[in-house]
Structure 1
Amino acid sequence: MSSLESDNRPGPRHVAVIMDGNGRWAQARGHPRTVGHRQGAEAVKGVVRTAGEFGVSYLTLFAFSAENWKRSAREVQDLMGLLRTFVQRELDDLRDNGVCLRVIGDRTPLPEDLQDMLARAEAQTRANRRIAVTLALNYGGRQDIVNAAQQMAQGVADGELGVDEISLQAFGDALSTSSLPDPDLLVRTGGEQRISNFLLWQCAYAEMFFIDKLWPDIGPDDVHAMVETYQHRRRRFGAIIGS
Protein backbone atom coordinates (compact mmCIF):
# COMPACT_ATOMS: atom_id res chain seq x y z
CA MET A 1 0.00 0.00 0.00
CA SER A 2 1.35 3.44 -0.88
CA SER A 3 1.58 6.05 1.86
CA LEU A 4 -1.13 8.03 0.09
CA GLU A 5 -3.79 5.35 -0.05
CA SER A 6 -4.90 5.99 3.53
CA ASP A 7 -5.19 9.74 2.97
CA ASN A 8 -8.75 10.91 2.42
CA ARG A 9 -7.68 13.82 0.22
CA PRO A 10 -8.04 12.86 -3.44
CA GLY A 11 -4.96 12.69 -5.61
CA PRO A 12 -4.80 13.74 -9.26
CA ARG A 13 -6.60 11.51 -11.70
CA HIS A 14 -4.71 12.87 -14.74
CA VAL A 15 -1.12 14.10 -14.59
CA ALA A 16 0.52 15.79 -17.59
CA VAL A 17 4.30 16.10 -17.67
CA ILE A 18 6.74 18.26 -19.62
CA MET A 19 9.89 16.14 -19.40
CA ASP A 20 12.58 18.82 -19.52
CA GLY A 21 16.30 18.58 -18.88
CA ASN A 22 17.59 15.49 -20.69
CA GLY A 23 20.15 17.41 -22.72
CA ARG A 24 21.36 19.48 -19.77
CA TRP A 25 21.66 16.33 -17.66
CA ALA A 26 23.98 14.78 -20.23
CA GLN A 27 26.03 17.93 -20.86
CA ALA A 28 26.65 18.41 -17.13
CA ARG A 29 28.26 14.98 -17.14
CA GLY A 30 30.28 15.50 -20.31
CA HIS A 31 28.08 13.20 -22.39
CA PRO A 32 26.30 13.79 -25.72
CA ARG A 33 22.69 14.94 -25.42
CA THR A 34 21.52 11.55 -26.69
CA VAL A 35 22.79 9.93 -23.49
CA GLY A 36 20.45 12.20 -21.55
CA HIS A 37 17.52 11.20 -23.74
CA ARG A 38 18.27 7.52 -23.11
CA GLN A 39 18.42 8.12 -19.37
CA GLY A 40 15.18 10.08 -19.65
CA ALA A 41 13.51 7.06 -21.24
CA GLU A 42 14.55 5.01 -18.20
CA ALA A 43 12.95 7.63 -15.96
CA VAL A 44 9.71 7.29 -17.93
CA LYS A 45 9.45 3.61 -17.00
CA GLY A 46 9.82 4.36 -13.30
CA VAL A 47 7.36 7.24 -13.35
CA VAL A 48 4.71 5.18 -15.17
CA ARG A 49 5.04 2.43 -12.57
CA THR A 50 4.99 4.79 -9.59
CA ALA A 51 2.13 6.92 -10.91
CA GLY A 52 -0.01 3.81 -11.22
CA GLU A 53 0.83 2.82 -7.65
CA PHE A 54 -0.33 6.25 -6.44
CA GLY A 55 -3.69 5.93 -8.16
CA VAL A 56 -3.04 8.10 -11.23
CA SER A 57 -5.31 6.83 -14.01
CA TYR A 58 -4.00 9.00 -16.86
CA LEU A 59 -0.43 10.11 -17.52
CA THR A 60 0.34 12.31 -20.53
CA LEU A 61 3.99 12.85 -21.45
CA PHE A 62 5.29 15.59 -23.75
CA ALA A 63 7.78 13.42 -25.62
CA PHE A 64 8.41 15.48 -28.79
CA SER A 65 6.98 18.90 -29.54
CA ALA A 66 6.19 20.36 -32.95
CA GLU A 67 9.04 22.79 -32.28
CA ASN A 68 11.60 20.03 -31.62
CA TRP A 69 12.13 19.61 -35.38
CA LYS A 70 14.29 22.75 -35.09
CA ARG A 71 16.97 20.72 -33.30
CA SER A 72 19.92 19.30 -35.19
CA ALA A 73 19.15 16.55 -37.70
CA ARG A 74 21.37 14.20 -35.71
CA GLU A 75 19.50 14.77 -32.46
CA VAL A 76 16.11 14.35 -34.14
CA GLN A 77 17.33 11.13 -35.76
CA ASP A 78 18.56 9.86 -32.40
CA LEU A 79 15.22 10.71 -30.77
CA MET A 80 13.32 8.78 -33.44
CA GLY A 81 15.64 5.83 -32.90
CA LEU A 82 15.10 6.02 -29.15
CA LEU A 83 11.34 5.93 -29.65
CA ARG A 84 11.69 2.81 -31.78
CA THR A 85 13.82 1.14 -29.14
CA PHE A 86 11.46 2.12 -26.34
CA VAL A 87 8.41 0.70 -28.10
CA GLN A 88 10.21 -2.51 -29.10
CA ARG A 89 11.66 -3.21 -25.67
CA GLU A 90 8.81 -2.07 -23.48
CA LEU A 91 5.71 -3.19 -25.37
CA ASP A 92 5.48 -6.56 -23.64
CA ASP A 93 5.85 -4.97 -20.20
CA LEU A 94 3.31 -2.27 -21.01
CA ARG A 95 0.83 -4.86 -22.21
CA ASP A 96 1.40 -7.24 -19.27
CA ASN A 97 1.21 -4.47 -16.65
CA GLY A 98 -2.10 -3.00 -17.69
CA VAL A 99 -0.78 0.09 -19.46
CA CYS A 100 -2.88 1.47 -22.31
CA LEU A 101 -0.57 3.38 -24.68
CA ARG A 102 -1.95 6.23 -26.77
CA VAL A 103 -0.36 8.81 -29.06
CA ILE A 104 -1.52 12.34 -29.85
CA GLY A 105 -0.02 14.78 -32.33
CA ASP A 106 0.64 14.78 -36.06
CA ARG A 107 2.32 11.47 -36.88
CA THR A 108 2.63 12.03 -40.62
CA PRO A 109 6.18 13.51 -40.49
CA LEU A 110 7.42 10.58 -38.39
CA PRO A 111 9.26 7.73 -40.14
CA GLU A 112 6.75 5.25 -41.55
CA ASP A 113 8.16 2.30 -39.64
CA LEU A 114 7.80 4.23 -36.39
CA GLN A 115 4.23 5.16 -37.25
CA ASP A 116 3.49 1.46 -37.80
CA MET A 117 5.14 0.49 -34.51
CA LEU A 118 3.13 3.05 -32.57
CA ALA A 119 -0.12 1.92 -34.19
CA ARG A 120 0.62 -1.70 -33.27
CA ALA A 121 1.47 -0.73 -29.69
CA GLU A 122 -1.81 1.18 -29.37
CA ALA A 123 -3.77 -1.76 -30.77
CA GLN A 124 -2.10 -4.31 -28.50
CA THR A 125 -2.63 -2.28 -25.31
CA ARG A 126 -6.04 -0.79 -26.08
CA ALA A 127 -7.93 -3.05 -23.69
CA ASN A 128 -5.68 -2.29 -20.70
CA ARG A 129 -7.26 -0.32 -17.86
CA ARG A 130 -4.67 0.09 -15.07
CA ILE A 131 -3.23 3.39 -16.39
CA ALA A 132 -3.52 5.20 -19.73
CA VAL A 133 -0.19 6.62 -20.87
CA THR A 134 -0.40 9.15 -23.68
CA LEU A 135 2.69 10.20 -25.62
CA ALA A 136 2.46 13.64 -27.21
CA LEU A 137 4.58 13.33 -30.37
CA ASN A 138 4.99 16.19 -32.84
CA TYR A 139 2.32 17.87 -30.74
CA GLY A 140 1.50 21.56 -30.30
CA GLY A 141 -1.35 22.94 -28.22
CA ARG A 142 -2.14 25.80 -30.58
CA GLN A 143 -2.28 23.45 -33.56
CA ASP A 144 -4.58 21.14 -31.61
CA ILE A 145 -6.96 24.07 -31.09
CA VAL A 146 -6.74 25.12 -34.74
CA ASN A 147 -7.45 21.56 -35.88
CA ALA A 148 -10.52 21.43 -33.65
CA ALA A 149 -11.75 24.79 -34.98
CA GLN A 150 -11.27 23.63 -38.57
CA GLN A 151 -13.14 20.40 -37.86
CA MET A 152 -16.09 22.28 -36.38
CA ALA A 153 -16.08 24.88 -39.17
CA GLN A 154 -16.21 22.06 -41.70
CA GLY A 155 -19.14 20.57 -39.83
CA VAL A 156 -20.99 23.89 -40.06
CA ALA A 157 -20.14 24.23 -43.76
CA ASP A 158 -21.43 20.72 -44.43
CA GLY A 159 -24.65 21.39 -42.56
CA GLU A 160 -23.83 18.74 -39.95
CA LEU A 161 -23.33 21.22 -37.10
CA GLY A 162 -25.25 24.33 -36.17
CA VAL A 163 -23.43 27.43 -34.97
CA ASP A 164 -25.45 27.33 -31.76
CA GLU A 165 -24.19 23.77 -31.19
CA ILE A 166 -20.60 24.97 -30.78
CA SER A 167 -20.04 24.73 -27.04
CA LEU A 168 -17.20 24.18 -24.61
CA GLN A 169 -18.09 20.49 -24.50
CA ALA A 170 -18.32 20.17 -28.28
CA PHE A 171 -15.02 21.96 -28.77
CA GLY A 172 -13.30 19.76 -26.21
CA ASP A 173 -14.66 16.71 -28.00
CA ALA A 174 -12.97 17.89 -31.21
CA LEU A 175 -9.51 18.02 -29.61
CA SER A 176 -7.00 15.18 -29.87
CA THR A 177 -7.49 14.45 -26.17
CA SER A 178 -11.26 13.94 -26.40
CA SER A 179 -11.00 10.48 -24.82
CA LEU A 180 -9.13 11.86 -21.77
CA PRO A 181 -10.27 13.94 -18.81
CA ASP A 182 -8.56 17.31 -18.50
CA PRO A 183 -5.31 17.20 -16.51
CA ASP A 184 -5.61 17.84 -12.79
CA LEU A 185 -1.88 18.45 -12.42
CA LEU A 186 0.68 19.78 -14.91
CA VAL A 187 4.30 19.07 -13.99
CA ARG A 188 7.41 20.52 -15.58
CA THR A 189 10.89 19.40 -14.61
CA GLY A 190 14.19 21.17 -15.31
CA GLY A 191 13.58 24.49 -13.56
CA GLU A 192 11.66 26.31 -16.32
CA GLN A 193 8.25 27.73 -15.42
CA ARG A 194 6.24 27.80 -18.63
CA ILE A 195 3.94 25.33 -20.40
CA SER A 196 5.56 25.57 -23.85
CA ASN A 197 2.47 25.08 -26.03
CA PHE A 198 1.40 21.90 -24.23
CA LEU A 199 -2.29 21.10 -23.72
CA LEU A 200 -3.25 24.77 -23.70
CA TRP A 201 -7.02 24.27 -23.71
CA GLN A 202 -6.97 21.19 -21.53
CA CYS A 203 -4.90 22.72 -18.71
CA ALA A 204 -7.25 25.65 -18.08
CA TYR A 205 -7.81 24.51 -14.48
CA ALA A 206 -4.78 22.30 -13.91
CA GLU A 207 -2.62 22.80 -10.85
CA MET A 208 0.96 23.68 -11.83
CA PHE A 209 4.01 22.05 -10.27
CA PHE A 210 7.50 23.14 -11.32
CA ILE A 211 10.54 21.25 -10.10
CA ASP A 212 14.21 22.13 -10.59
CA LYS A 213 15.30 18.51 -10.96
CA LEU A 214 16.21 17.42 -14.46
CA TRP A 215 13.97 14.74 -15.92
CA PRO A 216 16.50 11.84 -15.85
CA ASP A 217 16.85 12.32 -12.08
CA ILE A 218 13.11 12.03 -11.38
CA GLY A 219 12.22 9.02 -9.23
CA PRO A 220 9.46 7.61 -7.01
CA ASP A 221 10.03 10.17 -4.24
CA ASP A 222 9.46 12.99 -6.73
CA VAL A 223 6.22 11.43 -7.96
CA HIS A 224 5.13 11.14 -4.33
CA ALA A 225 5.95 14.83 -3.79
CA MET A 226 3.97 15.85 -6.88
CA VAL A 227 0.88 13.94 -5.79
CA GLU A 228 1.16 15.12 -2.19
CA THR A 229 1.55 18.75 -3.29
CA TYR A 230 -1.63 18.41 -5.34
CA GLN A 231 -3.49 16.94 -2.37
CA HIS A 232 -2.68 19.98 -0.23
CA ARG A 233 -3.95 22.54 -2.73
CA ARG A 234 -7.47 23.93 -2.54
CA ARG A 235 -9.16 23.70 -5.92
CA ARG A 236 -11.94 26.29 -6.11
CA PHE A 237 -12.73 26.48 -9.85
CA GLY A 238 -13.83 30.08 -9.35
CA ALA A 239 -15.95 29.42 -6.25
CA ILE A 240 -15.37 30.70 -2.72
CA ILE A 241 -14.71 27.89 -0.26
CA GLY A 242 -15.15 28.50 3.47
CA SER A 243 -15.41 31.88 5.13
Structure 2
Amino acid sequence: MPPLVGVARTGALPTGTSSCGPIPAHVAIIMDGNGRWAASRGLPRAAGHKAGAEAVTRCLRAARANGVDYLTLYAFSSENWRREPSEVADLTGLLKFYLRHKVSELHQEQVKIRFVGEVGRFGADLCAEMARAEALTAGNTGLTLLLALSYGGRSDIVQAAQALARAAQRGELDPGLIDETMVSRHLLTAGVPDPDVIVRTSGEHRLSNFLLWQSAYAELVFLETLWPDFDGDCFARVLDIYGRRERRFGARPA
Protein backbone atom coordinates (compact mmCIF):
# COMPACT_ATOMS: atom_id res chain seq x y z
CA MET A 1 0.00 0.00 0.00
CA PRO A 2 1.38 3.47 -0.80
CA PRO A 3 2.58 5.39 2.27
CA LEU A 4 0.59 8.04 4.07
CA VAL A 5 1.83 11.60 3.88
CA GLY A 6 3.30 13.02 7.05
CA VAL A 7 2.31 10.08 9.23
CA ALA A 8 4.59 7.58 10.90
CA ARG A 9 3.44 4.07 10.14
CA THR A 10 2.94 1.92 13.21
CA GLY A 11 2.42 -1.52 11.77
CA ALA A 12 -0.32 -3.28 9.85
CA LEU A 13 -3.94 -3.08 10.86
CA PRO A 14 -6.47 -5.85 10.38
CA THR A 15 -8.21 -5.62 7.04
CA GLY A 16 -10.97 -3.00 7.03
CA THR A 17 -10.88 -2.29 10.77
CA SER A 18 -9.49 0.60 12.76
CA SER A 19 -7.41 0.69 15.91
CA CYS A 20 -9.10 1.55 19.17
CA GLY A 21 -9.94 5.24 19.37
CA PRO A 22 -12.70 7.74 18.70
CA ILE A 23 -14.64 7.19 15.49
CA PRO A 24 -15.45 10.34 13.51
CA ALA A 25 -19.15 10.95 13.03
CA HIS A 26 -18.54 12.53 9.63
CA VAL A 27 -15.83 11.61 7.12
CA ALA A 28 -15.50 13.67 3.93
CA ILE A 29 -13.31 12.55 1.04
CA ILE A 30 -11.86 14.32 -1.99
CA MET A 31 -11.62 11.40 -4.39
CA ASP A 32 -8.60 12.18 -6.56
CA GLY A 33 -6.39 10.19 -8.90
CA ASN A 34 -8.71 8.41 -11.34
CA GLY A 35 -6.97 9.85 -14.38
CA ARG A 36 -3.47 9.07 -13.14
CA TRP A 37 -4.51 5.55 -12.19
CA ALA A 38 -5.76 4.96 -15.74
CA ALA A 39 -2.74 6.63 -17.38
CA SER A 40 -0.32 4.47 -15.38
CA ARG A 41 -2.01 1.41 -16.87
CA GLY A 42 -2.30 2.72 -20.41
CA LEU A 43 -6.09 2.92 -20.09
CA PRO A 44 -8.52 5.68 -21.07
CA ARG A 45 -9.64 8.07 -18.34
CA ALA A 46 -13.11 6.52 -18.45
CA ALA A 47 -11.61 3.29 -17.10
CA GLY A 48 -10.18 5.24 -14.18
CA HIS A 49 -13.58 6.73 -13.38
CA LYS A 50 -15.17 3.28 -13.49
CA ALA A 51 -12.53 1.92 -11.13
CA GLY A 52 -13.11 4.96 -8.92
CA ALA A 53 -16.81 4.14 -8.74
CA GLU A 54 -15.91 0.66 -7.51
CA ALA A 55 -13.73 2.24 -4.83
CA VAL A 56 -16.80 4.18 -3.65
CA THR A 57 -18.52 0.88 -2.91
CA ARG A 58 -15.53 -0.31 -0.84
CA CYS A 59 -15.34 3.01 0.99
CA LEU A 60 -19.04 2.99 1.82
CA ARG A 61 -18.81 -0.57 3.09
CA ALA A 62 -15.87 0.37 5.34
CA ALA A 63 -17.63 3.46 6.67
CA ARG A 64 -20.68 1.43 7.63
CA ALA A 65 -18.57 -1.33 9.20
CA ASN A 66 -16.74 1.19 11.38
CA GLY A 67 -19.82 3.03 12.62
CA VAL A 68 -19.41 6.29 10.72
CA ASP A 69 -22.69 8.24 10.60
CA TYR A 70 -22.02 10.56 7.64
CA LEU A 71 -19.86 10.08 4.57
CA THR A 72 -19.48 12.93 2.07
CA LEU A 73 -17.81 12.24 -1.27
CA TYR A 74 -16.61 15.00 -3.60
CA ALA A 75 -17.81 13.33 -6.77
CA PHE A 76 -17.95 16.27 -9.20
CA SER A 77 -16.78 19.80 -8.47
CA SER A 78 -18.18 22.96 -10.00
CA GLU A 79 -14.82 23.31 -11.78
CA ASN A 80 -15.13 19.86 -13.36
CA TRP A 81 -17.48 21.32 -15.97
CA ARG A 82 -14.36 22.76 -17.60
CA ARG A 83 -13.11 19.31 -18.54
CA GLU A 84 -13.43 17.89 -22.03
CA PRO A 85 -17.09 17.29 -22.96
CA SER A 86 -16.36 13.62 -23.57
CA GLU A 87 -15.02 13.17 -20.04
CA VAL A 88 -17.98 15.03 -18.53
CA ALA A 89 -20.26 12.73 -20.52
CA ASP A 90 -18.40 9.68 -19.18
CA LEU A 91 -18.76 10.92 -15.60
CA THR A 92 -22.44 11.77 -15.88
CA GLY A 93 -23.17 8.50 -17.67
CA LEU A 94 -21.47 6.57 -14.89
CA LEU A 95 -23.44 8.49 -12.29
CA LYS A 96 -26.70 7.72 -14.08
CA PHE A 97 -25.84 4.02 -14.26
CA TYR A 98 -25.15 3.79 -10.52
CA LEU A 99 -28.27 5.75 -9.63
CA ARG A 100 -30.39 3.40 -11.71
CA HIS A 101 -28.78 0.14 -10.65
CA LYS A 102 -27.24 0.59 -7.19
CA VAL A 103 -29.65 2.77 -5.21
CA SER A 104 -31.93 -0.16 -4.38
CA GLU A 105 -28.99 -1.97 -2.78
CA LEU A 106 -28.14 1.06 -0.67
CA HIS A 107 -31.78 1.38 0.31
CA GLN A 108 -31.81 -2.22 1.53
CA GLU A 109 -28.74 -1.40 3.64
CA GLN A 110 -30.60 1.56 5.20
CA VAL A 111 -28.27 4.14 3.62
CA LYS A 112 -29.81 7.60 3.26
CA ILE A 113 -28.69 9.44 0.11
CA ARG A 114 -28.45 13.19 -0.19
CA PHE A 115 -27.07 15.37 -2.99
CA VAL A 116 -25.44 18.76 -2.44
CA GLY A 117 -24.45 21.18 -5.18
CA GLU A 118 -25.90 22.80 -8.27
CA VAL A 119 -27.45 19.54 -9.38
CA GLY A 120 -29.80 21.26 -11.82
CA ARG A 121 -26.88 21.60 -14.21
CA PHE A 122 -26.99 17.86 -14.90
CA GLY A 123 -30.26 18.01 -16.82
CA ALA A 124 -33.80 16.81 -16.21
CA ASP A 125 -33.20 13.06 -16.57
CA LEU A 126 -30.34 12.88 -14.09
CA CYS A 127 -32.08 15.27 -11.69
CA ALA A 128 -35.10 12.96 -11.73
CA GLU A 129 -32.86 10.00 -10.82
CA MET A 130 -31.35 11.97 -7.95
CA ALA A 131 -34.75 13.03 -6.67
CA ARG A 132 -35.91 9.41 -6.83
CA ALA A 133 -32.87 8.23 -4.85
CA GLU A 134 -33.39 10.87 -2.17
CA ALA A 135 -37.10 10.14 -1.88
CA LEU A 136 -36.61 6.37 -1.73
CA THR A 137 -33.98 6.53 1.02
CA ALA A 138 -35.31 9.54 2.97
CA GLY A 139 -36.65 7.42 5.83
CA ASN A 140 -33.55 5.25 6.24
CA THR A 141 -31.80 5.29 9.59
CA GLY A 142 -28.32 4.05 8.70
CA LEU A 143 -25.34 5.93 7.34
CA THR A 144 -26.08 9.16 5.45
CA LEU A 145 -24.21 9.37 2.15
CA LEU A 146 -23.80 12.89 0.80
CA LEU A 147 -22.68 13.15 -2.82
CA ALA A 148 -21.25 16.56 -3.69
CA LEU A 149 -22.10 17.09 -7.36
CA SER A 150 -21.37 20.32 -9.23
CA TYR A 151 -20.38 21.53 -5.78
CA GLY A 152 -18.14 24.44 -4.84
CA GLY A 153 -17.41 25.63 -1.31
CA ARG A 154 -17.33 29.30 -2.26
CA SER A 155 -20.63 29.17 -4.14
CA ASP A 156 -22.15 27.33 -1.18
CA ILE A 157 -21.24 30.26 1.09
CA VAL A 158 -22.47 32.75 -1.51
CA GLN A 159 -25.89 31.13 -1.85
CA ALA A 160 -26.23 31.07 1.95
CA ALA A 161 -25.37 34.78 2.11
CA GLN A 162 -27.88 35.53 -0.64
CA ALA A 163 -30.63 33.63 1.18
CA LEU A 164 -29.95 35.55 4.38
CA ALA A 165 -29.86 38.86 2.48
CA ARG A 166 -33.23 38.13 0.88
CA ALA A 167 -34.71 37.30 4.27
CA ALA A 168 -33.36 40.57 5.68
CA GLN A 169 -34.71 42.49 2.69
CA ARG A 170 -38.18 41.03 3.32
CA GLY A 171 -37.97 42.18 6.93
CA GLU A 172 -37.91 38.63 8.25
CA LEU A 173 -34.42 38.86 9.71
CA ASP A 174 -32.39 41.43 11.63
CA PRO A 175 -28.94 41.44 9.95
CA GLY A 176 -27.38 42.11 13.33
CA LEU A 177 -28.56 38.70 14.52
CA ILE A 178 -26.79 36.74 11.79
CA ASP A 179 -24.23 34.45 13.39
CA GLU A 180 -22.25 31.33 12.45
CA THR A 181 -25.10 29.01 13.42
CA MET A 182 -27.50 30.85 11.16
CA VAL A 183 -25.07 30.75 8.25
CA SER A 184 -24.57 27.01 8.75
CA ARG A 185 -28.32 26.48 8.62
CA HIS A 186 -28.40 28.04 5.16
CA LEU A 187 -25.57 26.01 3.66
CA LEU A 188 -26.32 23.11 1.34
CA THR A 189 -25.21 20.76 4.11
CA ALA A 190 -27.73 22.14 6.61
CA GLY A 191 -28.64 19.60 9.26
CA VAL A 192 -25.41 17.64 8.82
CA PRO A 193 -22.58 17.99 11.36
CA ASP A 194 -19.35 19.47 10.07
CA PRO A 195 -16.82 16.85 8.96
CA ASP A 196 -14.48 15.60 11.65
CA VAL A 197 -11.90 14.55 9.09
CA ILE A 198 -11.33 15.41 5.43
CA VAL A 199 -9.31 12.97 3.36
CA ARG A 200 -7.68 13.63 0.01
CA THR A 201 -6.15 10.86 -2.05
CA SER A 202 -3.43 10.90 -4.75
CA GLY A 203 -0.85 12.94 -2.84
CA GLU A 204 -2.33 16.38 -3.45
CA HIS A 205 -2.41 18.73 -0.44
CA ARG A 206 -5.30 21.13 -0.96
CA LEU A 207 -9.05 21.35 -0.38
CA SER A 208 -9.93 22.39 -3.95
CA ASN A 209 -12.99 24.41 -2.96
CA PHE A 210 -14.51 21.57 -0.91
CA LEU A 211 -16.61 22.31 2.22
CA LEU A 212 -14.67 25.50 2.95
CA TRP A 213 -16.95 26.75 5.75
CA GLN A 214 -17.62 23.29 7.15
CA SER A 215 -13.94 22.28 7.29
CA ALA A 216 -12.88 25.01 9.73
CA TYR A 217 -11.85 22.51 12.42
CA ALA A 218 -11.68 19.29 10.45
CA GLU A 219 -8.62 17.10 10.71
CA LEU A 220 -6.88 16.82 7.34
CA VAL A 221 -5.43 13.54 6.10
CA PHE A 222 -3.55 13.27 2.80
CA LEU A 223 -2.89 9.89 1.23
CA GLU A 224 -0.56 8.99 -1.61
CA THR A 225 -3.04 6.28 -2.64
CA LEU A 226 -4.85 6.92 -5.92
CA TRP A 227 -8.60 6.82 -5.44
CA PRO A 228 -9.28 3.65 -7.49
CA ASP A 229 -6.93 1.80 -5.11
CA PHE A 230 -8.75 3.00 -1.98
CA ASP A 231 -10.07 0.11 0.12
CA GLY A 232 -11.03 -0.92 3.63
CA ASP A 233 -7.41 -0.90 4.80
CA CYS A 234 -7.04 2.71 3.64
CA PHE A 235 -10.20 3.66 5.51
CA ALA A 236 -8.95 1.92 8.65
CA ARG A 237 -5.67 3.83 8.44
CA VAL A 238 -7.56 7.11 8.15
CA LEU A 239 -9.47 6.24 11.31
CA ASP A 240 -6.23 5.27 13.03
CA ILE A 241 -4.65 8.62 12.14
CA TYR A 242 -7.75 10.46 13.30
CA GLY A 243 -7.80 8.55 16.58
CA ARG A 244 -4.25 9.71 17.34
CA ARG A 245 -5.01 13.39 16.77
CA GLU A 246 -5.76 15.72 19.69
CA ARG A 247 -8.66 17.97 18.74
CA ARG A 248 -8.70 21.22 20.75
CA PHE A 249 -10.85 23.46 18.53
CA GLY A 250 -8.63 26.44 19.24
CA ALA A 251 -8.41 25.87 23.01
CA ARG A 252 -5.08 25.74 24.80
CA PRO A 253 -3.77 22.27 25.62
CA ALA A 254 -4.52 21.00 29.10
> TM-score w.r.t. structure 2 length?
0.92
Q: 1:197 aligns with which of 191, 202, 209?
A: 209
> Partner amino acid for 1:240?
R
> Partner amino acid for 2:47?
V
Q: Secondary structure at the match of 1:145?
A: helix
Aligned-pair Cα RMSD in Å:
1.3
Q: 1:153 maps to what in 2?
A: 165
Q: 2:145 maps to what in 1?
A: 133
> Partner amino acid for 1:85?
F
> Partner amino acid for 1:163?
P
Q: 1:102 maps to what in 2?
A: 114
Deviations 1:121-149 (A, max 9, x none): 01001111210000000000000000000
Q: Secondary structure at the match of 1:85?
A: helix
Q: Secondary structure at the match of 2:247?
A: coil
Q: 1:66 aligns with which of 78, 82, 94?
A: 78
CA distance in 1, matches of 2:183, 2:17: 38
1:4 to 1:226, Cα distance in 2 relative to 1, 3 A: closer
Percent of aligned positions that are identical: 47
Q: 1:116 maps to what in 2?
A: 128
CA distance in 1, matches of 2:223, 2:18: 20
How far the C-alpha of 1:111 sits from its partner, in A, is 2.1
Q: 1:47 aligns with which of 48, 51, 59?
A: 59
Q: 1:170 maps to what in 2?
A: 182
Q: 1:239 maps to what in 2?
A: 251
CA distance in 2, matches of 1:4, 1:198: 26
1:224 lines up with 2:236 in the alignment: yes
Q: 2:102 aligns with which of 85, 90, 100?
A: 90
> Partner amino acid for 1:48?
L
Aligned length: 240
Q: Is the 8 A contact 2:161 2:183 kept in 1?
A: yes
Q: 1:186 maps to what in 2?
A: 198
> Partner amino acid for 1:65?
S
1:78 lines up with 2:66 in the alignment: no
Q: Is the 8 A contact 2:201 2:227 kept in 1?
A: yes
CA distance in 2, matches of 1:3, 1:115: 36
Q: Secondary structure at the match of 1:203?
A: coil
CA distance in 1, matches of 2:39, 2:17: 35
CA distance in 2, matches of 1:4, 1:191: 22
Deviations 1:78-134 (A, max 9, x none): 111000011112111100001101000011210211100010001001111210000
How far the C-alpha of 1:3 sits from its partner, in A, is 4.8
> Partner amino acid for 1:40?
G
CA distance in 1, matches of 2:17, 2:113: 27
Q: Secondary structure at the match of 1:37?
A: helix
Which structure 1 segments of 5+ residues have no match? none
